[in-house]
Amino acid sequence: MLRGLYTAAAGLTAQQRRHDTITNNITNLNTPGYKQTNVVTRSFPDMLLEMTGVEGATNTKIGSLTSGIFAEESIAIYQQGDLTQTNQASDFALVSNIDVDGLAFDGAGRATNADGEVIFQPQAFFTVENADGEVRYTRGGKFSVTGEGMLVTSDGSRVLGTDGQPIQLPAGMGLDSLKLTENQRFLDTDGNDIGVQLLISRIDNPYDLVRDGNGNFRLASEDTTAQPIAAGDRVEVRQGYEERSNVDAAQASVDLMSAMRAYEANQKVIQFYDQSLQKTVNDVGRI
Protein backbone atom coordinates (compact mmCIF):
# COMPACT_ATOMS: atom_id res chain seq x y z
CA MET A 1 0.00 0.00 0.00
CA LEU A 2 2.73 2.47 0.95
CA ARG A 3 4.52 1.73 -2.31
CA GLY A 4 1.48 2.98 -4.23
CA LEU A 5 1.38 6.06 -2.01
CA TYR A 6 4.99 6.88 -2.87
CA THR A 7 4.34 6.34 -6.58
CA ALA A 8 1.41 8.77 -6.53
CA ALA A 9 3.46 11.29 -4.56
CA ALA A 10 6.24 11.10 -7.16
CA GLY A 11 3.69 11.78 -9.90
CA LEU A 12 2.30 14.69 -7.89
CA THR A 13 5.74 16.29 -7.61
CA ALA A 14 6.51 15.79 -11.31
CA GLN A 15 3.23 17.37 -12.42
CA GLN A 16 3.76 20.29 -10.04
CA ARG A 17 7.10 21.03 -11.69
CA ARG A 18 5.58 20.64 -15.14
CA HIS A 19 2.77 23.02 -14.18
CA ASP A 20 5.25 25.62 -12.86
CA THR A 21 7.32 25.42 -16.06
CA ILE A 22 4.31 25.87 -18.34
CA THR A 23 3.08 28.76 -16.20
CA ASN A 24 6.48 30.43 -16.58
CA ASN A 25 6.27 29.98 -20.36
CA ILE A 26 2.83 31.60 -20.47
CA THR A 27 4.05 34.46 -18.26
CA ASN A 28 6.81 35.18 -20.80
CA LEU A 29 4.61 35.09 -23.89
CA ASN A 30 5.39 38.77 -24.52
CA THR A 31 9.03 38.71 -23.42
CA PRO A 32 11.24 39.48 -26.45
CA GLY A 33 13.66 36.67 -27.25
CA TYR A 34 12.28 34.29 -24.62
CA LYS A 35 12.83 30.59 -25.37
CA GLN A 36 10.21 28.08 -24.30
CA THR A 37 11.16 25.48 -21.70
CA ASN A 38 9.86 21.92 -21.69
CA VAL A 39 10.05 19.49 -18.77
CA VAL A 40 11.40 16.01 -19.51
CA THR A 41 9.82 13.34 -17.31
CA ARG A 42 11.22 9.85 -16.92
CA SER A 43 10.16 6.81 -14.95
CA PHE A 44 12.16 5.38 -12.10
CA PRO A 45 13.65 1.95 -12.88
CA ASP A 46 11.07 -0.84 -12.73
CA MET A 47 11.36 -3.41 -9.95
CA LEU A 48 11.12 -7.15 -10.59
CA LEU A 49 8.87 -8.85 -8.04
CA GLU A 50 9.45 -12.39 -6.88
CA MET A 51 7.33 -14.60 -4.63
CA THR A 52 9.14 -15.69 -1.46
CA GLY A 53 8.19 -17.46 1.76
CA VAL A 54 5.78 -19.84 0.03
CA GLU A 55 6.60 -23.52 -0.23
CA GLY A 56 7.44 -24.49 -3.81
CA ALA A 57 7.31 -20.87 -4.98
CA THR A 58 10.86 -19.79 -4.24
CA ASN A 59 12.21 -17.35 -6.86
CA THR A 60 8.93 -17.43 -8.75
CA LYS A 61 8.80 -14.23 -10.75
CA ILE A 62 5.53 -12.31 -10.50
CA GLY A 63 6.36 -9.44 -12.87
CA SER A 64 7.66 -5.91 -12.91
CA LEU A 65 6.35 -2.96 -10.93
CA THR A 66 6.86 0.68 -11.81
CA SER A 67 7.91 3.03 -9.04
CA GLY A 68 6.64 6.30 -10.48
CA ILE A 69 8.03 9.15 -12.55
CA PHE A 70 10.15 12.21 -11.89
CA ALA A 71 10.88 15.47 -13.70
CA GLU A 72 14.45 14.91 -14.79
CA GLU A 73 15.33 18.24 -16.40
CA SER A 74 14.00 21.35 -18.09
CA ILE A 75 15.11 21.89 -21.68
CA ALA A 76 14.90 25.16 -23.59
CA ILE A 77 13.66 25.10 -27.18
CA TYR A 78 15.81 27.43 -29.31
CA GLN A 79 13.48 27.59 -32.29
CA GLN A 80 13.54 30.99 -34.02
CA GLY A 81 10.80 33.32 -32.81
CA ASP A 82 8.71 35.47 -35.14
CA LEU A 83 9.87 39.05 -35.74
CA THR A 84 7.72 42.09 -35.03
CA GLN A 85 8.54 45.45 -36.54
CA THR A 86 8.61 48.15 -33.87
CA ASN A 87 10.34 50.97 -35.82
CA GLN A 88 12.26 51.70 -32.61
CA ALA A 89 15.97 52.26 -33.22
CA SER A 90 16.72 50.73 -29.80
CA ASP A 91 15.16 47.37 -30.72
CA PHE A 92 17.31 44.66 -32.27
CA ALA A 93 16.33 41.15 -33.34
CA LEU A 94 18.54 38.21 -34.22
CA VAL A 95 17.70 35.94 -37.15
CA SER A 96 19.78 32.78 -36.93
CA ASN A 97 19.78 29.80 -39.30
CA ILE A 98 23.33 28.42 -39.16
CA ASP A 99 24.11 25.47 -41.43
CA VAL A 100 26.23 22.48 -40.43
CA ASP A 101 27.59 20.38 -43.31
CA GLY A 102 24.30 20.60 -45.17
CA LEU A 103 22.30 18.86 -42.43
CA ALA A 104 18.55 19.40 -42.35
CA PHE A 105 17.44 20.40 -38.86
CA ASP A 106 13.94 19.75 -37.57
CA GLY A 107 11.76 22.20 -35.66
CA ALA A 108 13.60 21.43 -32.43
CA GLY A 109 16.97 22.17 -34.05
CA ARG A 110 18.16 18.56 -34.26
CA ALA A 111 19.57 16.51 -37.13
CA THR A 112 21.23 13.13 -37.52
CA ASN A 113 24.45 12.75 -39.50
CA ALA A 114 25.57 9.77 -41.57
CA ASP A 115 27.05 8.08 -38.48
CA GLY A 116 23.73 8.26 -36.62
CA GLU A 117 24.99 10.98 -34.28
CA VAL A 118 22.51 13.64 -33.17
CA ILE A 119 23.73 17.14 -34.06
CA PHE A 120 22.18 20.29 -32.62
CA GLN A 121 21.90 23.42 -34.71
CA PRO A 122 24.25 26.20 -33.53
CA GLN A 123 22.55 29.36 -32.33
CA ALA A 124 23.57 33.02 -32.28
CA PHE A 125 23.24 35.30 -29.25
CA PHE A 126 23.95 38.86 -28.23
CA THR A 127 26.91 38.88 -25.86
CA VAL A 128 26.55 40.86 -22.63
CA GLU A 129 28.30 41.37 -19.31
CA ASN A 130 26.34 41.31 -16.05
CA ALA A 131 26.92 43.46 -12.96
CA ASP A 132 29.53 40.98 -11.70
CA GLY A 133 31.55 41.22 -14.90
CA GLU A 134 30.52 37.74 -16.08
CA VAL A 135 29.83 37.06 -19.76
CA ARG A 136 26.28 36.04 -20.56
CA TYR A 137 24.29 35.39 -23.75
CA THR A 138 20.81 36.61 -24.62
CA ARG A 139 18.32 36.88 -27.48
CA GLY A 140 16.59 39.88 -25.92
CA GLY A 141 17.52 42.90 -28.03
CA LYS A 142 15.74 45.79 -26.31
CA PHE A 143 18.73 48.07 -25.71
CA SER A 144 19.11 51.52 -24.20
CA VAL A 145 21.90 53.99 -23.53
CA THR A 146 22.87 55.11 -20.03
CA GLY A 147 23.91 58.62 -19.08
CA GLU A 148 27.53 57.54 -19.47
CA GLY A 149 26.86 56.31 -23.01
CA MET A 150 26.96 52.60 -22.13
CA LEU A 151 24.82 50.32 -24.29
CA VAL A 152 22.79 48.07 -21.97
CA THR A 153 19.98 45.52 -22.14
CA SER A 154 16.62 45.81 -20.38
CA ASP A 155 18.06 44.25 -17.19
CA GLY A 156 21.10 46.55 -17.12
CA SER A 157 23.65 44.11 -18.54
CA ARG A 158 26.32 45.82 -20.64
CA VAL A 159 26.36 44.88 -24.33
CA LEU A 160 29.80 43.76 -25.53
CA GLY A 161 31.59 44.68 -28.74
CA THR A 162 33.90 42.56 -30.86
CA ASP A 163 36.83 43.76 -28.76
CA GLY A 164 35.32 41.99 -25.76
CA GLN A 165 34.66 45.28 -23.96
CA PRO A 166 31.34 46.94 -23.05
CA ILE A 167 30.15 49.24 -25.83
CA GLN A 168 30.29 52.94 -24.98
CA LEU A 169 28.86 55.34 -27.52
CA PRO A 170 30.37 58.78 -28.16
CA ALA A 171 29.17 61.53 -25.84
CA GLY A 172 25.67 62.79 -26.62
CA MET A 173 25.01 60.07 -29.20
CA GLY A 174 21.93 57.86 -28.87
CA LEU A 175 20.60 54.90 -30.79
CA ASP A 176 18.10 57.12 -32.65
CA SER A 177 21.02 58.66 -34.53
CA LEU A 178 22.72 55.35 -35.35
CA LYS A 179 22.17 52.74 -38.02
CA LEU A 180 23.35 49.13 -37.83
CA THR A 181 25.01 47.68 -40.93
CA GLU A 182 24.93 44.08 -42.17
CA ASN A 183 28.21 43.32 -40.40
CA GLN A 184 26.86 44.66 -37.07
CA ARG A 185 28.76 47.98 -37.18
CA PHE A 186 27.16 51.30 -36.16
CA LEU A 187 27.07 54.28 -38.52
CA ASP A 188 26.09 57.83 -37.62
CA THR A 189 23.60 59.96 -39.57
CA ASP A 190 26.32 60.94 -42.05
CA GLY A 191 27.20 57.32 -42.73
CA ASN A 192 30.46 57.45 -40.79
CA ASP A 193 31.65 54.37 -38.91
CA ILE A 194 31.88 55.26 -35.20
CA GLY A 195 34.14 52.28 -34.47
CA VAL A 196 31.60 50.16 -32.62
CA GLN A 197 30.62 46.62 -33.66
CA LEU A 198 28.23 44.26 -31.86
CA LEU A 199 29.68 40.96 -30.70
CA ILE A 200 27.35 38.17 -31.84
CA SER A 201 28.42 34.84 -30.36
CA ARG A 202 27.86 31.42 -31.89
CA ILE A 203 27.09 28.54 -29.54
CA ASP A 204 27.65 25.26 -31.37
CA ASN A 205 25.58 23.26 -28.90
CA PRO A 206 22.92 25.51 -27.33
CA TYR A 207 22.10 22.77 -24.83
CA ASP A 208 25.41 23.58 -23.15
CA LEU A 209 23.69 26.76 -21.94
CA VAL A 210 22.01 27.22 -18.57
CA ARG A 211 19.38 29.85 -17.80
CA ASP A 212 20.74 32.65 -15.64
CA GLY A 213 17.63 34.79 -15.21
CA ASN A 214 16.39 37.93 -16.98
CA GLY A 215 16.55 36.17 -20.35
CA ASN A 216 20.28 35.53 -20.02
CA PHE A 217 22.16 32.26 -20.45
CA ARG A 218 25.57 31.12 -19.28
CA LEU A 219 27.81 28.29 -20.41
CA ALA A 220 27.39 25.16 -18.31
CA SER A 221 31.13 24.61 -17.83
CA GLU A 222 34.50 26.04 -18.73
CA ASP A 223 34.99 23.19 -21.20
CA THR A 224 32.44 24.74 -23.55
CA THR A 225 33.22 27.95 -25.41
CA ALA A 226 31.53 30.48 -27.63
CA GLN A 227 33.01 32.07 -30.74
CA PRO A 228 32.11 35.09 -32.85
CA ILE A 229 29.94 34.38 -35.84
CA ALA A 230 31.84 33.83 -39.09
CA ALA A 231 31.21 35.48 -42.45
CA GLY A 232 29.48 32.37 -43.81
CA ASP A 233 27.06 31.97 -40.91
CA ARG A 234 23.49 32.77 -41.79
CA VAL A 235 22.98 35.29 -39.00
CA GLU A 236 21.37 38.70 -39.32
CA VAL A 237 20.68 41.49 -36.83
CA ARG A 238 17.70 43.69 -37.71
CA GLN A 239 17.31 47.12 -36.17
CA GLY A 240 13.76 48.28 -35.48
CA TYR A 241 12.51 44.74 -34.88
CA GLU A 242 12.09 42.49 -31.86
CA GLU A 243 12.06 38.70 -31.73
CA ARG A 244 8.90 37.43 -30.13
CA SER A 245 8.81 34.62 -27.63
CA ASN A 246 8.67 31.22 -29.32
CA VAL A 247 6.06 29.91 -26.85
CA ASP A 248 3.04 28.34 -28.55
CA ALA A 249 0.19 29.86 -26.54
CA ALA A 250 -2.44 27.34 -27.66
CA GLN A 251 -0.24 24.31 -26.94
CA ALA A 252 0.84 25.80 -23.61
CA SER A 253 -2.81 26.13 -22.56
CA VAL A 254 -3.50 22.50 -23.48
CA ASP A 255 -0.37 21.32 -21.62
CA LEU A 256 -1.32 23.36 -18.58
CA MET A 257 -4.76 21.75 -18.41
CA SER A 258 -3.21 18.30 -18.89
CA ALA A 259 -0.77 18.89 -16.03
CA MET A 260 -3.59 20.05 -13.76
CA ARG A 261 -5.71 16.98 -14.54
CA ALA A 262 -2.77 14.63 -13.93
CA TYR A 263 -2.02 16.44 -10.66
CA GLU A 264 -5.64 16.04 -9.53
CA ALA A 265 -5.61 12.33 -10.44
CA ASN A 266 -2.51 11.69 -8.32
CA GLN A 267 -4.03 13.77 -5.54
CA LYS A 268 -7.14 11.58 -5.50
CA VAL A 269 -4.97 8.44 -5.34
CA ILE A 270 -3.15 9.82 -2.30
CA GLN A 271 -6.47 10.67 -0.65
CA PHE A 272 -7.68 7.11 -1.29
CA TYR A 273 -4.58 5.63 0.33
CA ASP A 274 -4.93 8.03 3.25
CA GLN A 275 -8.52 6.92 3.82
CA SER A 276 -7.50 3.25 3.56
CA LEU A 277 -4.73 3.70 6.12
CA GLN A 278 -7.12 5.54 8.42
CA LYS A 279 -9.55 2.62 8.33
CA THR A 280 -6.70 0.18 8.91
CA VAL A 281 -5.58 2.00 12.03
CA ASN A 282 -8.99 2.85 13.48
CA ASP A 283 -11.21 -0.08 12.45
CA VAL A 284 -8.96 -3.08 11.91
CA GLY A 285 -6.94 -2.13 14.96
CA ARG A 286 -10.00 -2.44 17.21
CA ILE A 287 -10.77 -5.94 15.92
pLDDT-derived band at 231 (thresholds 50, 70, 90) equals confident
Residues 254-267 have a mean pLDDT of 93
Q: Residue 253 is part of which domain span?
A: 2-76+248-284
Number of domains within the chain = 2
- Tens-place pLDDT, residues 22-65: 999 999 999 999 999 999 887 766 666 666 666 655 566 666 66
Co-location of 141 and 215 in the same domain: yes
pLDDT-derived band at 225 (thresholds 50, 70, 90) equals confident
Co-location of 104 and 51 in the same domain: no
Q: What is the mean pLDDT of the chain?
A: 88
Co-location of 278 and 173 in the same domain: no
Co-location of 54 and 143 in the same domain: no
Does residue 116 register a pLDDT over 90? no
Co-location of 69 and 122 in the same domain: no
Least confident of 65-79, 115-129, 139-153, 254-268: 65-79
Does residue 1 register a pLDDT over 60? no
DSSP string, the chain: -HHHHHHHHHHHHHHHHHHHHHHHHHHTTTSTT---EEEEEEEPPPEEEEE-SSTT-TTEEEEEE---EEEEEEEE--PPPPEEE---TTBEEEEE---STT----TTSEEE-TTS-EEEPPEEEEEEE-TTS-EEEE---B-EE-TT-BEE-TTSPEEBBTTSSB-BPPTT--GGG-EE-TTSEEE-TTS-EEEEEB-EEEES-GGGEEEEETTEEEESSTT---EEPPTTS-EEEEETEEEPP---HHHHHHHHHHHHHHHHHHHHHHHHHHHHHHHIIIIITT-
pLDDT-derived band at 2 (thresholds 50, 70, 90) equals confident
Does residue 287 register a pLDDT over 60? no
Co-location of 71 and 125 in the same domain: no
Q: Which residue has the higher pLDDT, 123 or 113?
A: 123
Q: In the chain, what percentage of residues exceed pLDDT 90?
A: 59
**Model confidence, pTM:** 0.84
Co-location of 126 and 252 in the same domain: no
Co-location of 156 and 237 in the same domain: yes
pLDDT-derived band at 5 (thresholds 50, 70, 90) equals confident
pLDDT-derived band at 80 (thresholds 50, 70, 90) equals very high
- Tens-place pLDDT, residues 168-204: 999 889 999 999 999 999 999 899 999 999 999 999 9
Co-location of 236 and 265 in the same domain: no
Co-location of 115 and 204 in the same domain: yes
Co-location of 252 and 122 in the same domain: no
Co-location of 277 and 205 in the same domain: no
Residues 139-163 have a mean pLDDT of 95
